[in-house]
Amino acid sequence: MYFFSEEERKYLLKKLIPKAREKGITEDLRGWNWYSTELSPPHDIVLPVWEVSDRYCETCRDSYLRHVQKVSVPASEEMIAGRIYHQAMAELYPTAKRLIYREGMGICTDLPQIMMERLPEAIIEAGEQLAQSKCSTEISKNVGENLRKLWSFEVSRIASSIYAYLGKYKYLSDDSLINHALPFVVEHKLDGRYLGLSSNLSADAINMGGMLICDLKTGQKKDFHRLSATGYALVYESLYEVPINIGCTVYLSFPKNHPTPHIERDFFIISDEVRQWFIEERDNKQDLIFCERDPGTCQNPVICRYKNYCCGEVS
Protein backbone atom coordinates (compact mmCIF):
# COMPACT_ATOMS: atom_id res chain seq x y z
CA MET A 1 0.00 0.00 0.00
CA TYR A 2 2.71 2.43 0.99
CA PHE A 3 5.57 0.94 -1.05
CA PHE A 4 6.34 3.17 -4.02
CA SER A 5 7.34 1.85 -7.42
CA GLU A 6 10.64 2.80 -9.01
CA GLU A 7 8.80 5.10 -11.40
CA GLU A 8 7.07 6.83 -8.51
CA ARG A 9 10.36 7.29 -6.66
CA LYS A 10 11.91 8.89 -9.74
CA TYR A 11 8.90 11.17 -10.09
CA LEU A 12 9.25 12.26 -6.47
CA LEU A 13 13.02 12.73 -6.56
CA LYS A 14 13.37 14.32 -9.99
CA LYS A 15 10.12 16.22 -10.33
CA LEU A 16 7.93 16.81 -7.29
CA ILE A 17 10.46 17.36 -4.50
CA PRO A 18 12.62 19.82 -6.53
CA LYS A 19 9.45 21.63 -7.63
CA ALA A 20 8.32 21.94 -4.00
CA ARG A 21 11.71 23.43 -3.05
CA GLU A 22 11.60 25.85 -5.97
CA LYS A 23 8.04 26.95 -5.28
CA GLY A 24 8.49 27.25 -1.52
CA ILE A 25 5.88 27.49 1.21
CA THR A 26 4.85 30.77 2.83
CA GLU A 27 6.21 30.80 6.38
CA ASP A 28 2.86 31.91 7.82
CA LEU A 29 1.28 28.70 6.51
CA ARG A 30 3.76 26.37 8.17
CA GLY A 31 2.19 24.45 11.04
CA TRP A 32 4.79 25.66 13.54
CA ASN A 33 3.38 29.20 13.25
CA TRP A 34 -0.01 28.09 14.61
CA TYR A 35 0.11 30.64 17.45
CA SER A 36 0.69 33.85 15.49
CA THR A 37 -0.99 33.52 12.08
CA GLU A 38 -4.27 32.65 10.42
CA LEU A 39 -3.54 29.03 11.34
CA SER A 40 -4.78 29.81 14.84
CA PRO A 41 -8.37 28.51 15.16
CA PRO A 42 -11.16 31.11 15.46
CA HIS A 43 -13.09 29.20 18.15
CA ASP A 44 -12.42 26.79 20.98
CA ILE A 45 -13.90 23.90 19.02
CA VAL A 46 -12.00 20.76 18.06
CA LEU A 47 -12.70 18.80 14.88
CA PRO A 48 -11.14 15.65 13.43
CA VAL A 49 -9.16 16.01 10.20
CA TRP A 50 -11.60 13.76 8.37
CA GLU A 51 -14.48 16.14 9.15
CA VAL A 52 -12.62 19.27 8.08
CA SER A 53 -11.60 17.48 4.87
CA ASP A 54 -15.02 16.01 4.11
CA ARG A 55 -16.73 17.94 1.31
CA TYR A 56 -19.32 15.37 0.24
CA CYS A 57 -21.90 17.78 1.66
CA GLU A 58 -21.49 20.96 -0.37
CA THR A 59 -22.94 23.24 2.32
CA CYS A 60 -21.38 21.45 5.35
CA ARG A 61 -24.84 20.87 6.79
CA ASP A 62 -23.67 17.44 7.96
CA SER A 63 -21.40 19.19 10.48
CA TYR A 64 -24.30 21.37 11.62
CA LEU A 65 -26.54 18.34 12.12
CA ARG A 66 -23.80 16.39 13.88
CA HIS A 67 -22.65 19.06 16.33
CA VAL A 68 -25.59 21.44 16.75
CA GLN A 69 -28.61 19.19 16.29
CA LYS A 70 -26.76 16.19 17.78
CA VAL A 71 -27.95 13.93 14.98
CA SER A 72 -26.26 10.53 14.91
CA VAL A 73 -26.50 8.26 11.88
CA PRO A 74 -24.91 4.84 11.32
CA ALA A 75 -21.90 4.40 9.09
CA SER A 76 -22.62 3.30 5.54
CA GLU A 77 -21.62 -0.15 4.30
CA GLU A 78 -18.89 1.44 2.20
CA MET A 79 -17.51 3.23 5.24
CA ILE A 80 -17.49 0.02 7.28
CA ALA A 81 -15.67 -1.84 4.52
CA GLY A 82 -13.10 0.95 4.23
CA ARG A 83 -12.59 0.90 8.00
CA ILE A 84 -11.87 -2.84 7.87
CA TYR A 85 -9.23 -2.39 5.16
CA HIS A 86 -7.63 0.39 7.21
CA GLN A 87 -7.55 -1.81 10.29
CA ALA A 88 -6.01 -4.68 8.38
CA MET A 89 -3.13 -2.51 7.19
CA ALA A 90 -2.74 -1.02 10.66
CA GLU A 91 -2.23 -4.56 12.01
CA LEU A 92 -0.16 -6.08 9.20
CA TYR A 93 2.88 -3.79 9.15
CA PRO A 94 3.41 -3.68 12.95
CA THR A 95 3.03 -7.48 13.02
CA ALA A 96 5.98 -7.87 10.65
CA LYS A 97 8.04 -5.45 12.72
CA ARG A 98 7.20 -7.18 16.01
CA LEU A 99 8.15 -10.60 14.64
CA ILE A 100 11.58 -9.36 13.55
CA TYR A 101 12.24 -7.51 16.79
CA ARG A 102 11.14 -10.49 18.87
CA GLU A 103 12.63 -13.37 16.89
CA GLY A 104 15.48 -11.67 15.03
CA MET A 105 16.23 -11.67 11.31
CA GLY A 106 16.21 -15.46 11.22
CA ILE A 107 12.41 -15.27 11.21
CA CYS A 108 12.48 -13.62 7.77
CA THR A 109 12.83 -16.99 5.99
CA ASP A 110 9.36 -18.02 7.20
CA LEU A 111 7.91 -14.54 7.57
CA PRO A 112 5.42 -14.73 4.63
CA GLN A 113 3.98 -18.03 5.87
CA ILE A 114 3.72 -16.84 9.47
CA MET A 115 1.98 -13.62 8.46
CA MET A 116 -0.44 -15.44 6.17
CA GLU A 117 -1.43 -17.59 9.14
CA ARG A 118 -2.76 -14.39 10.76
CA LEU A 119 -5.24 -13.84 7.92
CA PRO A 120 -8.07 -15.99 9.38
CA GLU A 121 -8.03 -13.87 12.55
CA ALA A 122 -8.39 -10.70 10.49
CA ILE A 123 -11.28 -12.21 8.50
CA ILE A 124 -13.08 -13.29 11.67
CA GLU A 125 -12.73 -9.81 13.17
CA ALA A 126 -14.01 -8.26 9.94
CA GLY A 127 -16.98 -10.65 9.91
CA GLU A 128 -17.89 -9.67 13.45
CA GLN A 129 -17.85 -5.98 12.54
CA LEU A 130 -20.00 -6.58 9.49
CA ALA A 131 -22.48 -8.66 11.48
CA GLN A 132 -22.79 -6.02 14.20
CA SER A 133 -23.37 -3.38 11.56
CA LYS A 134 -26.00 -5.55 9.83
CA CYS A 135 -24.32 -5.28 6.46
CA SER A 136 -25.81 -7.22 3.58
CA THR A 137 -24.60 -10.75 2.81
CA GLU A 138 -23.18 -9.59 -0.53
CA ILE A 139 -21.14 -6.82 1.09
CA SER A 140 -19.84 -9.24 3.74
CA LYS A 141 -18.79 -11.74 1.09
CA ASN A 142 -17.05 -9.09 -1.00
CA VAL A 143 -15.20 -7.67 1.99
CA GLY A 144 -13.97 -11.13 2.96
CA GLU A 145 -12.68 -11.83 -0.54
CA ASN A 146 -11.11 -8.40 -0.86
CA LEU A 147 -9.43 -8.72 2.52
CA ARG A 148 -7.78 -11.96 1.41
CA LYS A 149 -6.48 -10.28 -1.74
CA LEU A 150 -5.22 -7.24 0.16
CA TRP A 151 -3.54 -9.23 2.93
CA SER A 152 -1.80 -11.60 0.52
CA PHE A 153 -0.67 -8.73 -1.71
CA GLU A 154 0.80 -6.71 1.13
CA VAL A 155 2.53 -9.71 2.71
CA SER A 156 4.30 -10.30 -0.61
CA ARG A 157 5.35 -6.63 -0.78
CA ILE A 158 6.66 -6.68 2.79
CA ALA A 159 8.64 -9.87 2.19
CA SER A 160 10.03 -8.55 -1.10
CA SER A 161 11.25 -5.35 0.52
CA ILE A 162 12.85 -7.20 3.43
CA TYR A 163 14.58 -9.69 1.15
CA ALA A 164 15.89 -6.89 -1.06
CA TYR A 165 17.74 -5.29 1.85
CA LEU A 166 18.89 -8.59 3.31
CA GLY A 167 20.35 -9.47 -0.07
CA LYS A 168 22.09 -6.11 -0.36
CA TYR A 169 23.71 -5.80 3.08
CA LYS A 170 25.70 -8.45 4.92
CA TYR A 171 25.58 -6.78 8.30
CA LEU A 172 22.23 -5.39 9.36
CA SER A 173 20.77 -4.95 12.81
CA ASP A 174 17.11 -5.78 13.29
CA ASP A 175 16.36 -2.09 13.75
CA SER A 176 18.26 -1.08 10.63
CA LEU A 177 16.49 -3.71 8.53
CA ILE A 178 13.06 -2.53 9.65
CA ASN A 179 13.87 1.13 9.04
CA HIS A 180 15.18 0.34 5.56
CA ALA A 181 12.53 -2.15 4.47
CA LEU A 182 9.49 -0.72 6.29
CA PRO A 183 10.25 3.01 6.55
CA PHE A 184 6.76 4.13 7.47
CA VAL A 185 4.70 4.41 10.63
CA VAL A 186 1.03 3.44 10.28
CA GLU A 187 -1.78 5.00 12.29
CA HIS A 188 0.66 7.58 13.62
CA LYS A 189 -0.94 9.41 16.55
CA LEU A 190 -0.90 13.21 16.47
CA ASP A 191 -2.26 15.92 18.78
CA GLY A 192 -3.96 18.58 16.67
CA ARG A 193 -5.14 20.94 19.43
CA TYR A 194 -2.79 23.76 18.35
CA LEU A 195 -4.77 23.95 15.12
CA GLY A 196 -8.25 23.46 16.55
CA LEU A 197 -8.23 19.76 15.68
CA SER A 198 -8.68 16.58 17.68
CA SER A 199 -6.04 15.59 20.22
CA ASN A 200 -6.29 11.97 19.09
CA LEU A 201 -5.65 12.09 15.35
CA SER A 202 -4.32 9.09 13.40
CA ALA A 203 -2.44 9.65 10.15
CA ASP A 204 -2.74 6.55 7.97
CA ALA A 205 0.99 6.43 7.25
CA ILE A 206 4.03 8.65 7.50
CA ASN A 207 7.02 7.72 5.35
CA MET A 208 9.84 8.64 7.70
CA GLY A 209 12.48 8.29 4.99
CA GLY A 210 11.04 11.06 2.86
CA MET A 211 8.87 12.81 5.44
CA LEU A 212 5.79 12.21 3.34
CA ILE A 213 2.19 11.89 4.57
CA CYS A 214 0.00 9.15 3.06
CA ASP A 215 -3.78 8.99 3.38
CA LEU A 216 -5.75 5.90 2.32
CA LYS A 217 -9.08 6.21 0.49
CA THR A 218 -11.42 3.51 -0.79
CA GLY A 219 -13.92 5.63 -2.71
CA GLN A 220 -13.87 7.47 -6.00
CA LYS A 221 -11.23 10.12 -6.49
CA LYS A 222 -12.17 13.64 -5.35
CA ASP A 223 -10.13 16.84 -5.41
CA PHE A 224 -10.85 17.54 -1.73
CA HIS A 225 -9.23 14.25 -0.70
CA ARG A 226 -5.92 16.11 -0.71
CA LEU A 227 -7.12 18.06 2.31
CA SER A 228 -6.66 15.03 4.58
CA ALA A 229 -2.92 14.63 4.08
CA THR A 230 -2.62 18.42 4.20
CA GLY A 231 -4.26 18.56 7.62
CA TYR A 232 -1.97 15.88 9.03
CA ALA A 233 1.06 17.65 7.56
CA LEU A 234 0.10 20.92 9.27
CA VAL A 235 -0.34 19.10 12.58
CA TYR A 236 3.00 17.30 12.20
CA GLU A 237 4.71 20.62 11.52
CA SER A 238 3.02 22.21 14.54
CA LEU A 239 4.30 19.46 16.84
CA TYR A 240 7.81 18.76 15.54
CA GLU A 241 8.67 21.88 13.49
CA VAL A 242 9.75 19.65 10.61
CA PRO A 243 8.63 20.71 7.11
CA ILE A 244 6.28 18.37 5.26
CA ASN A 245 6.07 19.34 1.60
CA ILE A 246 4.62 16.27 -0.14
CA GLY A 247 1.35 14.44 0.37
CA CYS A 248 0.04 11.24 -1.16
CA THR A 249 -3.55 10.05 -1.39
CA VAL A 250 -3.60 6.27 -1.87
CA TYR A 251 -6.71 4.95 -3.64
CA LEU A 252 -7.53 1.30 -2.98
CA SER A 253 -10.04 -0.60 -5.11
CA PHE A 254 -10.85 -4.19 -5.99
CA PRO A 255 -11.66 -4.73 -9.70
CA LYS A 256 -13.84 -7.74 -10.41
CA ASN A 257 -12.04 -10.90 -11.55
CA HIS A 258 -8.68 -9.34 -10.71
CA PRO A 259 -6.28 -11.34 -8.51
CA THR A 260 -4.90 -8.36 -6.59
CA PRO A 261 -6.16 -5.01 -5.34
CA HIS A 262 -5.62 -2.00 -7.56
CA ILE A 263 -3.66 0.85 -6.02
CA GLU A 264 -3.43 4.35 -7.47
CA ARG A 265 -1.41 7.10 -5.81
CA ASP A 266 -1.96 10.83 -6.12
CA PHE A 267 1.26 12.65 -5.16
CA PHE A 268 0.98 16.39 -4.67
CA ILE A 269 2.79 19.37 -3.22
CA ILE A 270 1.26 20.56 0.04
CA SER A 271 1.26 24.07 -1.34
CA ASP A 272 0.08 27.42 0.01
CA GLU A 273 -3.18 26.96 -1.89
CA VAL A 274 -4.13 23.59 -0.41
CA ARG A 275 -3.02 24.69 3.08
CA GLN A 276 -5.21 27.79 2.80
CA TRP A 277 -8.09 25.63 1.57
CA PHE A 278 -7.82 23.36 4.62
CA ILE A 279 -7.77 26.32 7.02
CA GLU A 280 -10.79 27.89 5.31
CA GLU A 281 -12.71 24.63 5.66
CA ARG A 282 -11.80 24.41 9.35
CA ASP A 283 -12.81 28.03 10.00
CA ASN A 284 -16.10 27.67 8.11
CA LYS A 285 -17.13 24.55 10.02
CA GLN A 286 -16.09 25.98 13.37
CA ASP A 287 -18.06 29.16 12.60
CA LEU A 288 -21.30 27.40 11.70
CA ILE A 289 -21.04 25.21 14.83
CA PHE A 290 -20.22 28.14 17.12
CA CYS A 291 -22.99 30.34 15.69
CA GLU A 292 -25.38 27.36 15.36
CA ARG A 293 -26.02 28.48 11.80
CA ASP A 294 -27.93 26.14 9.53
CA PRO A 295 -26.18 26.44 6.12
CA GLY A 296 -29.08 24.86 4.25
CA THR A 297 -29.26 21.72 2.17
CA CYS A 298 -26.96 20.89 -0.73
CA GLN A 299 -28.05 20.32 -4.31
CA ASN A 300 -27.13 16.63 -4.44
CA PRO A 301 -27.76 14.89 -1.09
CA VAL A 302 -28.05 11.41 -2.64
CA ILE A 303 -24.68 10.13 -1.34
CA CYS A 304 -24.91 11.89 2.02
CA ARG A 305 -25.57 9.82 5.16
CA TYR A 306 -27.74 12.67 6.44
CA LYS A 307 -29.88 12.90 3.32
CA ASN A 308 -33.04 11.78 5.14
CA TYR A 309 -32.75 14.77 7.48
CA CYS A 310 -32.27 17.12 4.55
CA CYS A 311 -34.98 15.65 2.33
CA GLY A 312 -37.67 15.76 5.00
CA GLU A 313 -38.01 11.98 5.45
CA VAL A 314 -37.08 12.28 9.14
CA SER A 315 -38.50 14.94 11.40
Query: In this structure, are residues 245 and 266 in contact, taking their beta carbons and an 8 Å threshold?
Result: no
CA dist 63 and 286 (Å) reads 9
pLDDT in tens, 186-216: 999 999 999 999 999 999 999 877 689 999 9
Q: How far is CA 308 from the centre of its chain?
A: 28
pLDDT in tens, 120-135: 988 888 888 888 887 7
Helix axes 137-168, 119-132, angle to 10 degrees: 150
CA dist 126 and 88 (Å) reads 9
Residue 225: the pLDDT is: 97
Q: How far is CA 35 from the centre of its chain?
A: 26
Give this prediction's pTM.
0.93
**Exposure b/e, 143-180, CB count within 10 A at least 16 = b:** bbebbeebbbebbeebbebbeebbeeeeebebeebbbb
The amino acid that residue 270 corresponds to is: I
Confidence band for 301, pLDDT divided at 50, 70 and 90: low
